[in-house]
Structure 1
């Protein structure tokens, strides 16, 4: 008996067919081409999904989508990164290709489920998961199940306002926002280890932070501390509302690793009320880039 986990993100597409979340039978991955829009993504899925499942007894498909969805119907509300998704009946469309039950949920919800059952959230309850990539998303698992508000969404951490002017956590702390922070900083300090790395290998500048931090680069450390303070301030609102036992950091920017986790852990207590000190446990994702497809498979097993 096999299940499919499909991730549709703002930068990455991947699908896994597995007998259990960790016994992977086949997988496929590609990068999103924003210029091709939603139609480009759908063409890739329509081409690759039948090949992926050929020869496997697939019982259900789970999908983690990068944006708000109506999880009861499997209809996309919108994507904040890729045009052409608004109102699209994603579950129904995939069902025409596989003829099995298809469940669709927000990708952060799905990743939270994966981490709660098979990753860093095991033995913790409630579990709050944050994805920090092309956007910033959140998912809450209580009693082993995703917490759902009224469709089409909940726990939209990235859209918390940091001020009355409409600055959001996502606009300050997403991977794209960190890229811009790095670009501006190294333009003023090109001779630093971080500046040298960006000059030699431009694009997606935040990916150079980990190496620059390992070199002891003060510029990289300053950028990380500034980012972590902004992020911890936004995260504190979720902690005050949900008071999870553990907060798990995932997504592309979490690839900076322990320096990022430790920086958030340093700044978060300053933004929490005294009764909640020292705050929840903070951990890095144990499933890494597979958090969404593993969670999607777990969701599909309940179909």
Structure 2
């Protein structure tokens, strides 16, 4: 059975075709351009799906999206790094456009389940997965089953408070991990302290070149990320935790 997997990121939109063993056989992507709103992004998603499925008998589509969202209803609620996405019934819209079965879940949850079942955590009972990209997310798998919580938003660690005296960000708690250690946060600090416009990538490049301010920005983010990871370890006591840096 051929399936399509979609990674809806704050920066990039990726679509891939997978075989029955879960192996990626075809992949394509484009910038998300999230600032253009959900209607534009959904049109781009449908376009990539139509291109990807040529030559394959696709049976279902799985979408990983930034949270918070309701995986039981297939609705994206109001992610901080997808402006204008509020109560968007994404699964329904893609289902109507493609006439295929569609499942929506938090992107970190989807990655966590994959890592725990066919990846590096397949021999572990308890796996916690962390993604650090435009935002920060998490997913927890216990005995090969995803722990989702009552509303499907378990492990939304981006909103974990790691410094109550620090700044916040739209849609996040004051001092939230995502507001202090995500790619967006690093880019924001780079703009404020260095006057750059290239985001986190430029901060890392400057740090590699020896810029002390850039190094301090990254050290600050790593400090808060370490606090978040320590909180997770002491809360769920996983066999393994995995971190992914993306875009």
**Structure 2-normalised TM-score?**
0.86
Aligned residue for 1:29, secondary structure, equals: strand
Structure 1 unaligned residues grouped into runs of 5+: 188-197, 253-288, 290-303
Q: Which runs of 4+ in 1 moved over 6 A?
A: none
Matched, 1:238 2:246: no
Instruction: Report if the CA contact (8 A) 1:157-1:235 is conserved.
Output: no
Instruction: Report if the CA contact (8 A) 2:108-2:131 is conserved.
Output: yes
Aligned twin of 1:263: none
With CA pairs under 8 Å and 6+ residues apart, which has the higher RCO, 1 or 2? 1
List per-residue Cα deviations over 1:49-96 (Å, max 9, x = no partner). 122212311121111011122112212222222233322222222122
Query: How many residues are aligned here?
Result: 238
Change (3 A) 1:51 1:226: closer
Instruction: Report if the CA contact (8 A) 2:29-2:48 is conserved.
Output: no
- Residues 79-158 of structure 1 mapped to structure 2, 5 A cutoff: 79-158=79-158
- Residues 240-279 of structure 1 mapped to structure 2, 5 A cutoff: 240-252=234-246
User: C-alpha root-mean-square deviation of aligned residues, in Å?
Assistant: 2.3
List per-residue Cα deviations over 1:13-42 (Å, max 9, x = no partner). 111012133241x32201121331111101
Structure 2 unaligned residues grouped into runs of 5+: 166-173
**Structure 1-normalised TM-score?**
0.71
* Distance in 2 between residues matched to 1:242 and 1:14, nearest whole Å: 31
List per-residue Cα deviations over 1:212-255 (Å, max 9, x = no partner). 55556655544433322211112222222111112211133xxx
Aligned residue for 1:79, secondary structure, equals: coil
* Distance in 2 between residues matched to 1:152 and 1:246, nearest whole Å: 22
Change (3 A) 1:126 1:17: same
Instruction: Give 1 or 2 for the bigger CA radius of gyration.
Output: 1
